[in-house]
Structure 1
């Protein structure tokens, strides 16, 4: 009999409603009286006053420190030197890289992590891992932690007012769960946590197919609608629960591996994580030799919500050299990447052929 090992598959508390940051102090105060906040400039501009007013009313001690732009081991070390010993909790306020940095900091100090996402672009608020990069933005690895998020506060009003592009990136990152998790689970023990992770991935996929187009329209007009709430919960909560339940049996696979490879091309550093994953989904589908009808369905969905399906849409407007393509493939296939979760062996030649196939699919399509 095989054992079942997994870290808590969801946050200890997930609170999602419009205006919840007005009550942030009450919620955070249930777990401690002091918090070290890591945030980005734009993120803090969107909600800082709302958050600090609430913390002040609840008499919560806090310090605010700005993130320097990359989720790197160097940045975590820098912030670690700034944390007073009396701080009880670490809080990330922002998008995925801010949250992953704060999460890495919390785990390095063995302190609870509080997530306040200002975007619904990744599952970083919930996932018990951080995606780490070099200071120049090239993927390194993803350490997995033995504790989950203590508290996640999701203010629909804040996310509804964020740039709609980030919501689209989150939709792609979450869509990938149903593309990747079944591939990672093939040949693995189908215990209940694995089955639960796969069901969470399917729920994400179905929710996005049904609600994404309306959610994108509502987000464009800053409307915290029911459709937007559904998509936010898929992007933030259930997306994180896929591997939170299934662990290594439901990890990322080809799509995220391709994302990792693309980070070696400087032009893609201005492209969001989920946008690169969107292209990676298509590369994985090419590797799997999925049916053309399914490919057409995915590309049609991409067009509806504004996701990239051509290299030029992820910043690559030139012919890459053979050396650059080989480096993309090499990084995609690193042991620290996730291509090893595919159910079959993948070679550099297969990766490059899959890129060519994706470009052939999109060549007759006008954006």
Structure 2
């Protein structure tokens, strides 16, 4: 029997310039003592606006700079703070790691969680899962939650002042959303939430892709100049909400497996998640024997916003190393097995080299 269709999303999503000045108004029903788990830059760029929003209220606020990775030890430290200070609401402020630490802390302490992303690099703010690491920084596990965050508050002014490389990486991560969900629908594979893929989920995934094509280039220019424009707002929503809720309810396929594969290579350690997902998206289209027009549309987009279309751009100069990544991307349990007809390491290796060959044409022009 096919899996029951399932849709999950944050209870509340608020986005706009100066949205943090409304933080208290949007979260006051959750409780009156708040623990803010912050990255360094998250604290610096957000705490004043948040404190201003609480003026005149009787809430207690505790800001804590976390250790940098969402590790078991860090989560334990935050849980102790929750107990010691009788915290009622946990808030994550920063990038993916601060957000994942906050989600895990709230889950274990059975408390509501609110999220304030400071970059648009991943879709972590809206999803119902965390990536957990061991204390030495090695990957430990995925932690799946029974529900998504209670509130996600995105101040687009904060995102516009972050380095543009984060927005570009977010667009790369979002680029896979529609194509991976489409592949899962073709094979009746489950979503990340382990449910069937609803029409509404596919509509969000498709809108995500269309928004990238329409507004991506303009949004990058806006971010480089710290401007908040309609195109910039559209891309922040696409990378944060449409990609997050889309991937959660739409599923993953080859593009994210390619990312997982390339993490086995030391030369890719500095390459951002979204850059590898974007490269993997092109490889996935080649595996699917997609139309020339579709592959060109995706590659044109990548090239226009600065996402990689060649192996050299993701840090790989020795093509023999690609075999290692292809092997790792195809291990049992990887989402690449949601693809039609399945994919062998050899087939993926060939697709990755073909992606590189097509990508090199952009630099001959």
Asked if these proteins are the same fold (TM beyond 0.5), I'd say: yes
Indicate the SS of the match to 1:130: strand
CA distance in 2, matches of 1:140, 1:354: 30
Query: In the alignment, which residue of structure 2 is the partner of 1:70?
Result: 69
Asked if 2 retains the 8 angstrom alpha-carbon contact of 1:253 and 1:338, the reply is yes
| Residue 203 (structure 1) aligned to one of 198, 204, 207 | 207
Q: Contact 1:139 / 1:260 at 8 angstroms: preserved in 2?
A: no
TM-score, with structure 2 as normaliser? 0.89
* Equivalent pairs, count: 359
CA distance in 1, matches of 2:139, 2:126: 20
Provide the C-alpha distance between the structure 2 equivalents of 1:47 and 1:29, rounded to a whole number of angstroms. 18
Distance change in 2, residues 1:71/1:329 (3 Å): farther
Give the aligned partner of residue 228 of structure 1.
232
For the pair 1:297 / 2:290, whether they are aligned, the reply is: no
Q: Are 1:15 and 2:32 matched, yes or no?
A: no
Q: Secondary structure at the match of 1:143?
A: strand
- Match 1:357 to one of 346, 351, 354: 354
Long gaps (5+) in structure 1: none
CA positional deviation for 1:57: 4.3
What displacement does 1:115 show? 0.5
CA contact (8 A) 2:11 2:148 kept: yes
**Change in CA separation of 1:319 and 1:293 when aligned onto 2, cut-off 3 Å:** same
TM-score by length of 1: 0.89
Query: Secondary structure at 1:53's aligned position in 2?
Result: helix
Kept after mapping to 2: 8 A contact 1:25/1:57: no
RMSD (CA atoms): 2.5
Closer/same/farther in 2, CA of residues 140 and 344 from structure 1, 3 Å limit: farther
- Matched with 1:165 is 165
Counterpart in the other structure of 1:333? 330
What do residues 96-135 of structure 1 show as CA deviations (whole Å, max 9, x unaligned)? Answer: 2321222122222222110001111221111111234556
Distance in 2 (alpha carbons) for counterparts of 1:261 and 1:337: 10
Q: CA contact under 8 A between 1:141 and 1:336: conserved in structure 2?
A: no
Unaligned runs of 5+ in 2: none
Match of 1:112 in 2: 112
Q: Contact between 1:141 and 1:337, CA under 8 Å: does it hold in 2?
A: no
